[in-house]
Amino acid sequence: MRIDFDKSVDSKMEKGKNAVIRNGKRSWDAEFVTSPNGHSQYSSDDISTPTSSQNWHSYDDIPSVSTPIIDESRQSDFMIENYRRLLESSTRYPPLTIQQQIQIAKYLDSRGEYAPSYMIIEKFNLQISAAHLRTLTNGCWLNDEVINFYSNLIIERAQNNPDIYPPVHIVNTFFYTKLMQSGFGHKVVAGAHWTLAVANFKLCRFEYYDSLGGEFNPVFLNELRAFFNYLAKQTNNHHFDFDSWNTYEPKTKTPQQKNSYDCGVFTMMTVEHMSRNAPLSFTQSKMGYFRAKMIYEISTGNIMNEIDDEDSFEEDEDESVNDDEILQSSAEHSPGAEAMQIDIVKSSTTTHQGPSVTIEII
């Protein structure tokens, strides 16, 4: 686990700013994600703020675009839907050309020219086969290879364009397992859900994004604090005190999945948006496109650029995340996971091994 502490982090840890956030007077969420007119990306004329039947009294009460809103009034539902669409459309995602779409379809066609073991791309010490890429088929669960590869693409993009994208480090998906195993010796149950934890060095807080609205696992959070404290000590960054870091869990304000299979895409898109300081304004309806986009980007080994226009995100960057440590984790304790765990136990009892066995390979 190599994590470099950016030297510039020191200058970013302004105590005043930190205090403001602790007092809860201003949260990144309110400022960055949910505010329709607090961001340069949206001109205030574009947004028709729903009024009458809505109880959006104060700035902070404005629900996130992705918050499931239940309202008796159909009319307000309609207005909210319009509002959502408006927000979504103002995020300029690159379109996929016909040729690109055809290529994507070919990759996904299991009876086509690409056998499951066909190596689509080899990069970052990872090999993505057609079978791995096909976990991005609509309705499928994403696997670790795809998640880790895409994480590397995001890191690479930030490294290659330091003037555009804030520095970001993303640990691989095994970090969580390893951390939970080695810490207090907790038993890690193989997970069935992708979620995202972020160490935000700019705002000095740990953040947790779950497309099913879950909460930070307190054990995991403690392990994270311990891990970073250890790391700070090892690297002589004694001024860091991760025990004092706040937590930030937007829960249902995080874009939410409406099915049982899209959490991997939600997680990676949350990372992708955060890595360029874009608001998390996407919803379930974009997932088909995101999957296709990810397939194309992974197969080419490059992330497609978002479309530049005069309303780019860059102007407001000072207010947002600048130095993230993004961690992925698969959540533990789930019915599906129990089944998986049982499977593991079963297969290991049938084999003969133990601490005393050494195998010689000559």
| Residue numbers at the binding site for other proteins (CB under 8 A) | 1-2, 125-126, 135, 140-145, 147, 171-175, 177-178, 181, 190-194, 212, 214, 257, 259-264, 330-331, 334-336, 344-345, 347-348, 350-362
**Which residue shows structure tokens 């340069």?**
40
Please tell me the distance from the alpha carbon of residue 41 to that of residue 52, in angstroms, as a whole number: 25
Beta strands 168-170 and 324-330 are: parallel
Among residues 44 and 351, whose Cβ is nearest to other proteins? 351
Contact between 131 and 116 under an 8 Å Cβ cutoff? The reply is yes
Tokens of 191: 């997970």
Among residues 36 and 191, whose Cβ is nearest to other proteins? 191
Please tell me the distance from the alpha carbon of residue 5 to that of residue 127, in angstroms, as a whole number: 29
Which residue out of 204, 263, 273, 323 is catalytically annotated? 263
Q: How far is the CB of 144 from other proteins (least distance, A)?
A: 4
Among residues 98 and 357, whose Cβ is nearest to other proteins? 357
Q: Is 210 a catalytic residue?
A: yes
Q: How far is the CB of 111 from other proteins (least distance, A)?
A: 20
Please tell me the distance from the alpha carbon of residue 140 to that of residue 135, in angstroms, as a whole number: 5
Q: How far is the CB of 160 from other proteins (least distance, A)?
A: 21
Among residues 180 and 292, whose Cβ is nearest to other proteins? 180
C-beta atoms surrounding 351 within 10 Å: 7
Beta strands 194-200 and 246-248 are: unpaired
Among residues 87 and 189, whose Cβ is nearest to other proteins? 189
Which residue out of 193, 204, 262, 324 is catalytically annotated? 193
In single-letter form, the type of residue at position 90 comes to S
Which residue out of 39, 132, 204, 210 is catalytically annotated? 210
Among residues 162 and 335, whose Cβ is nearest to other proteins? 335
Q: Is 204 a catalytic residue?
A: no
Q: How far is the CB of 150 from other proteins (least distance, A)?
A: 14
Q: How far is the CB of 287 from other proteins (least distance, A)?
A: 12
Contact between 255 and 282 under an 8 Å Cβ cutoff? The reply is yes
Q: How far is the CB of 129 from other proteins (least distance, A)?
A: 8
Please tell me the distance from the alpha carbon of residue 335 to that of residue 341, in angstroms, as a whole number: 10
Q: Report how far apart, in Å, the C-alpha atoms of 21 and of each of 24, 158, 261, 325 are.
A: 5, 26, 34, 19
Q: How far is the CB of 348 from other proteins (least distance, A)?
A: 5
Please tell me the distance from the alpha carbon of residue 208 to that of residue 199, in angstroms, as a whole number: 9
Among residues 118 and 174, whose Cβ is nearest to other proteins? 174
C-beta atoms surrounding 105 within 10 Å: 12
CA angle 54, 58, 63 (to 5 degrees): 55
CA angle 108, 112, 113 (to 5 degrees): 105
Q: Which helix (H) or strand (E) holds 298?
A: helix 287-300
Please tell me the distance from the alpha carbon of residue 246 to that of residue 233, in angstroms, as a whole number: 20
Contact between 303 and 347 under an 8 Å Cβ cutoff? The reply is no
User: Which residues are known to be catalytic?
Assistant: 193, 210, 263
